[in-house]
Amino acid sequence: MRIVVDANVPAARECFAPLGEVIAVPGREIDAAAVREADALVVRSITRVDEALVAGSRLRFVGTCTIGTDHVDRAALAARDIGFASAPGCNAEAVVDYVLASLATLAERQGFGLTERRVGIVGVGNVGGRLRARLEALGIECLACDPPRVEAESIEAEGGAGFHELDALIDACDVLCLHTPLVREGPHATRHLLDARRIAELAPGTILLNAGRGDCLDGQALRSRLSGQDDITAVLDVWEREPAIDAALCDLAEIATPHIAGHSRDGKLRGTHAVYQALAHRFGLPVRLTMEDLSPPPPLPSLTLDEGLSVDEALRLCMRAVYDVRRDHDALHRERRRQGMAAGFDDCRARYPLRREFSTLTVALRPAAEALAGPLSAAGFRVAVGSEG
């Protein structure tokens, strides 16, 4: 069996080499010629999988190591009886880490406490649902918007979830986080969900964070608001027209990163492992590798805290010990200056130093710091209380 794999899929050879011949190709170079003689294709979000790509191939399986699937024409695959799998939820924890790290950084820069802000979450799926749970555990008030879930029959079984209209979130929230898939048509289309009207209605002081899909936000309208009034804050990880993103908007964003919110080593490995399992099942092959086989130990397994830190200080310290979002902001601007926007954006992603997730760090608390246990655990860290070490 011949398996074409995006060259940036981690642990690809460990997972797929036991199943067949692995051919690694950069994601943007995967074309019809590259897959013509392949039996299976494993991609990430930068490769468009459509009729033009798969026509004339012998493909029997396509897998994407991502949560999102809007880069895959599933109807084209089904018409050719090509099996398909994605990795829903694989990097959701990493995206939540990114949001918390960004909010903690802004809280420090702008001088507010995390619990002083009301957060509106647009899209309460794998990412938004986990974000809501962690924020509420931290004592941060949240409002949620997810019209498709309101219509779902399962909502009654959940006892109601207190969903609100998007315009209500815009009116009531200090922070607006977008975590929706890209849906171009239909009653719940999300392309330019935050359009010029809604961006104009954001109250001064609002923090707007998009770690969902770039096209869900009207970038031109946001650029006009930021360059004109300069009274809201933007945190942008996803962009329209990646990788040739709007340089002016990038300059205006307080935190600008190159679509890496979900790029943790743990999340990437989950995605690879999920597609490995699906591919093996598709071809009737045994699944022998586990996530434990793939996951290396974290470079910083633990740290110890004593008295003297406020909750927000302790959260920032522990978050940055695992992941500092400022590194990725600085890298994008540095590589843009060196290589140009599109090449710099892609290079940041291709050479990204995969981070670990908050859950890989155990925070040992000496007795005088035991009050930090609740907030640190809520943020996603492992906590050991009463350490004298």
**What's domain 2-86's architecture?**
3-Layer(aba) Sandwich (3.40)
Task: Check residue 320 and give its pLDDT.
Answer: 98
The percent of residues above 90 in pLDDT, for the chain, comes to 90
Output the six-digit token pair for 333: 């601007």
Under a CB-based contact definition with an 8 Å cutoff, are residues 227 and 252 in contact?
Answer: yes
Domain edges within the chain: 2-86, 92-256, 302-385
Whether residue 353 is preceded by a cis peptide bond, meaning omega within 30 degrees of 0, is no
Of 242, 313, 326, 382, which is the active-site residue?
Answer: 242
d(CA 109, CA 106) in angstroms, rounded, equals 5
270-280 pLDDT tens trace: 999 999 999 99
3-state SS assignment for residue 63: strand
284-306 pLDDT tens trace: 999 999 999 999 999 999 999 99
Task: Check residue 157 and give its pLDDT.
Answer: 44
Q: What is the rounded average pLDDT of the residues 15-29?
A: 96
Confidence of residue 162 (pLDDT cuts 50, 70, 90): confident
Please check the confidence at residue 30 and state whether its pLDDT lies above 90. yes
Is 197 a catalytic site residue?
no
Please check the confidence at residue 136 and state whether its pLDDT lies above 80. yes
Task: Check residue 388 and give its pLDDT.
Answer: 57
Q: What is the rounded average pLDDT of the residues 157-170?
A: 77
**What's domain 92-256's architecture?**
3-Layer(aba) Sandwich (3.40)
Of 117, 134, 259, 265, which is the active-site residue?
Answer: 259
Q: What is the rounded average pLDDT of the residues 92-120?
A: 97
d(CA 243, CA 367) in angstroms, rounded, equals 49
CATH superfamily of 302-385: Erythronate-4-phosphate dehydrogenase, dimerisation domain (3.30.1370.170)
What is the rounded average pLDDT for all residues in the chain?
94
Of 149, 213, 263, 273, which is the active-site residue?
Answer: 213
Annotated binding site for NAD(+): 146, 180, 237, 262
Chain centre distance of CA 308: 33
3-state SS assignment for residue 229: coil
Chain centre distance of CA 231: 26
Confidence of residue 159 (pLDDT cuts 50, 70, 90): very low
Q: What is the rounded average pLDDT of the residues 108-126?
A: 96
What are the two backbone dihedrals, phi and then psi, of residue 111, each rounded to the nearest 5 degrees?
Answer: 75, 40
Please state, in angstroms and as integers, the Cα–Cα distance from residue 257 to each residue in 48, 119, 261, 330, 374, following that order. 22, 21, 8, 8, 30
Annotated binding site: 45, 66, 146, 180, 237, 262
DSSP 8-state symbol, 42: E
Please check the confidence at residue 158 and state whether its pLDDT lies above 70. no
Under a CB-based contact definition with an 8 Å cutoff, are residues 289 and 11 in contact?
Answer: no
Please check the confidence at residue 3 and state whether its pLDDT lies above 60. yes
- Indicate the residue type of 211: A
DSSP 8-state symbol, 315: H
Please check the confidence at residue 194 and state whether its pLDDT lies above 80. yes
Decide if 2-86 and 302-385 have a common fold: no
Is 191 a catalytic site residue?
no
Task: Check residue 350 and give its pLDDT.
Answer: 86
Is 242 a catalytic site residue?
yes
Task: Check residue 161 and give its pLDDT.
Answer: 57
Chain position carrying tokens 């809201």: 232
Please check the confidence at residue 215 and state whether its pLDDT lies above 70. yes
Annotated binding site for substrate: 45, 66
341-367 pLDDT tens trace: 999 999 999 899 989 999 999 999 999
Output the six-digit token pair for 103: 């909010």
